[in-house]
Structure 1
């Protein structure tokens, strides 16, 4: 649960709890107020009926005295008000303990109203003195109504007294609950605020400590692991990914530096094996022309091959070249070597032209061929065969250099593939390990850095059964942007 959702849940819950307590306290007070109002309305109604009954008697007495129309209208007004009060009493719900008394009280009112009506009819009849008995009865009924009203008021108060006490107790309890809930909400709010602050500050502090470690150069520090599924876990994972990307960038920078170092070593090795290459190149051209003039065509061809070989070595060593150029350079190198070995060796090629446009580092094939001559076939008197095969696969270009020489042991093969250990032959005879100083493992390492891909090289060899070196070059071949652009020529 993320922080935003948690806040949206907890804060409304606290708000609802506070409102619920407030509502219960309010509802309890409202119930007390309604009960009090109901009782007070009935008590006031009893009092008003009693007063209106006495006023009706006085109005009849005035009408008996003067028999005027105004006195009659005044009496009728008082009588109508008494009937309205009687209707209000009928509409009021009576409590169970006063139900019979209220019913009797209502009958008394009906009797009193009927007696007043008899008095008025007697006054308007032929025998006006007949009203006296009805008036006397009306006075008695009014007295009973008054006594009954007092009795009803006492019963109402007696009935509601324990209810009031109970309500007051409940109200007191609710007040205590309100205080308790208020205190509880305060404690919960403080604890929740403390918990929220911990959930926010603790991950931030851990990330800050990790950032300080990384800024100090410790890239092996483990990013904090967040157990919750919130924004901080996403931030921690992004932080870890950023750390991995930083490691990858540093590794790539190291590889780029390694490329530059190997190129410098290659340049140094080439320069160490060249005696003023420009002067030597020009001198070979002169010798070639001179041999051709004197009729020594083979010597001229050999000199041209040597000149081409030097010209190739004078190229910028940090620039990739098409595989086609490397093949031509390998052929020129073989021509020079064949002048030395003559019929003892045979060079075979099986080349798929579709695979010759892929880019490779300069001086890739010659060191491998040189290793073949030095270590594989140098001791063979006859029948030595070196084969260069290039096949174009859907996703790769395979370059295979094979020979039928002495082969190599498993230790030497493994050492060549792992680049890091010194070859046994190089330890025993470093001068014989490579004539130009361009080690085979240097070539393998440059290929790996150039294509940023491992396991490109495979070697199949057994003692006495020859050797095959297979280079699997990606068909997409990296371009010049993958190597340093510094001009080293």
Structure 2
């Protein structure tokens, strides 16, 4: 056990011993006083029990005389037995001062019981008049018992009056003693606590001053602490630390600089991967678009081809302009509308797009060409293969700290294996040249752009349709991380 612990245990032991002594003294005094009070109270209760029981005997006797039955007779016998037991308890209260009065009181109880028995006997012999006289006598004796009980209680009160006054005086003196004792104990504890705290706080204050000097950059001053406990050992250790702290500080600075450069290189690598994945979108989309325009021009040769070319030009201009930058959801929605103009020319009434957009979310940043590959996938697999065509829903909803984007179609759905491959970012080998790159790369680009996983979920039932759900934060996580490093 170390020295500080010994000091703490010593102080705690002194406090516990003092508290134990006070508790034992108070408990002994209270128990003694309580026993005396209980004895006196028991005397009063025993006398009062005789009064109430005698009255109960008279009541039960009257009930029996008015309506003789086994039930009433049983109650009367119980009341008499209870009265006899109360008489025995009264006998235990006898002392030199009340011996004569208690003897008369007990004889009176015996007379009352005998009178009750005579009333029952005459009633059993059909001597109603004599039985009633005995009942009247029993009633008189019951009242006399009540009066005598009050007399005895009054005598007891006078006898124990001195005892009561002694207890009151003793309590007052004990209260004064308790106050002086509490003041003395408080003073003693204050002195012991001050001495104990001073033996700990003085070395701590010296150590604190030395620490403040070290924090101010003063590494040349030796640390000295006057103590014979663990704080002295702490000061010696602190002094050795002072010698090496400057070299450690330099090493920490170098490591921090290297870590900062490493994080910067990691961010640059992620941005490079993002640009590389974005660049893969252009060839497959350009191929599909030009294929649609060539078929349309061949079949119609109308002015509508001009509108399609305008839409294609806008798409290409958007693709080249925002290839390596983030865009807003508003830009993405505009691109979707241009793309759907092209596809509507191809599929006419077979393709329907439903828009449900919360315009308060359109300023949120997102990688360029994120939604178009998903819409394109829905067109290829949900609309194109079916003669009756299909419907596509685009929903953008506000979700407090994030924006929820849903792309849903009523196509044939996808299998669970393909769904898992897309979410895990694995390239899917299909007969189409577009989806294998576009959809999978959207997953990877979102993860790289936001620096987060689980941004996309796909829900699909075979024969019912597919829903792609994207939950994007309103603030880009990678940018927050970079700002933290710069600070």
TM-score, normalised by the number of residues in structure 1: 0.43
